[in-house]
Amino acid sequence: MSAGYFPKREKVGLEDLFKGLVTASHILHHNGIVDAYGHISVRSPDNPATFWMPCNIPPALISTPDDLIEYNVEDATPVEKNVKPGYLERCIHSEIYKRFPAVNSVVHSHSSDVLPYCISGVPLKPTIHLAGFLGSSVPVWDISSHYPSGSKHDLLVRDTTLGASLSASFKPATSAGFLYSKMRSALPSQIGGTAEPDHEPEHAVVLMQSHGFTTAAHGIEEAVFQAIYTKEAAKAQTTALAIRNAHFGRTVEGNVDVEHGGKIKSAKVKAEGDLKYLTDRQARDTSEAMQATISRPWGLWCREVEINPLYKNECPSGED
């Protein structure tokens, strides 16, 4: 968990972790990141070899510690026997935790605002300062060439083989480092993992062909922040593309072949009014600046779901 959620605590207790995980599930639903599908998880603060995530019920209806299951990072199997059925795609989470020890929370979403960038070939870019964490490019992972022999081609990350392939798309950080490296000082050492480059992903978000997206972060609040503003960035980019094309239109330039019916040869489509995306420097600096403010929207989001009768969080609070 991040410093924003537990600013005065030296250690994150399981009671607080459970309450935060349930609240995060409600926030993600309230903001349209998940519906009946989609999920969030968090690495155990007591044992980095395990993680917690809700059982197989809609995120909005998760309410008690009994709705949460502890899994082994190694193979996504439940730590205890005879638990409630879990999400089929929990290997998304386990393989990211396995590859990146500094990651402590993962969100998987099928947001309809992001889906067009999973199928259109149009790259998702950082359009707004709140989405600088997207960096200069967002990979699109295509599951089609990674299915084990005999498996169903249903786009679902059903096993560790597919989960490992997806996690590899986040790629270990290069010598240049990822935006995360500039944020480590803001996180408590007991839950922040290590700042070694090979323990950090290069990308905060990976799109999934015809499926959705996954984001990895250092804590629950950061993961929720990234999921929500990935959606907001996609909405802004889609709207900007639409009004740009409506206003400027497109012109075709080329040579006219008079002898063959007036066809245009060597034609090029010219578009005016190119979108202004964040530069690499802007993405890095805005991401670092926003990292220090995550507790502000988190407090608002918590209150929004707290007063909404749909959401019930019956997890006890831990002691300060």
pLDDT tens digits, one per residue of 188-200: 444 444 446 578 9
Catalytic residue among 89, 95, 202, 221: 89
Q: Is the pLDDT of residue 29 over 90?
A: yes
Phi first, then psi: give them for residue 293, nearest 5 degrees.
-115, 5
Say if 249 falls within a structural domain.
no
pLDDT at 189: 43
**293 CB-near residues (< 8 Å, 6+ apart):** none
Look at residues 82, 22, 49 and name the one whose alpha carbon lies nearest to residue 224: 22
Residue 262 included in any domain: no
Residue 126 has pLDDT above 70, yes or no: yes
Give the whole-angstrom CA distance, residue 101 versus residue 315.
27
Count of positions (residues) in the chain: 320
CATH of residue 190's domain is 3.40.225.10
Residue 202: the pLDDT is: 93
Catalytic residue status for 89 = yes
Higher-confidence residue of 256 and 125: namely: 125
Output the CA–CA distances (angstroms, integers) from residue 108 to 142, 185, 215, 262, in the order listed: 15, 26, 7, 52
Report the domain count for the chain: 1
Pairwise pLDDT comparison (236 vs 174), residue with the higher score: 236
CB 51 within 8 A of CB 70: yes
pLDDT of 9 higher than 70: no
Residue 183: which domain range? Answer: 14-233+277-306
pTM listed for this prediction: 0.85
Does 258 score more than 60 pLDDT? no
- Residue 315 falls inside a structural domain: no
Is 272 a domain residue? no
Asked if the structure places residue 9 within a domain, the reply is: no
Residue 317 resides in a domain = no
Whether 239 is in a domain gets the answer no
Residue 254 lies in a domain: no
Would you say residue 216 has pLDDT above 80? yes
User: Using one digit for the tens of pLDDT, what is the confidence trace for 66-113?
Assistant: 999 999 999 999 999 999 999 999 999 999 999 999 999 999 999 999
**pLDDT of 256 higher than 80:** no
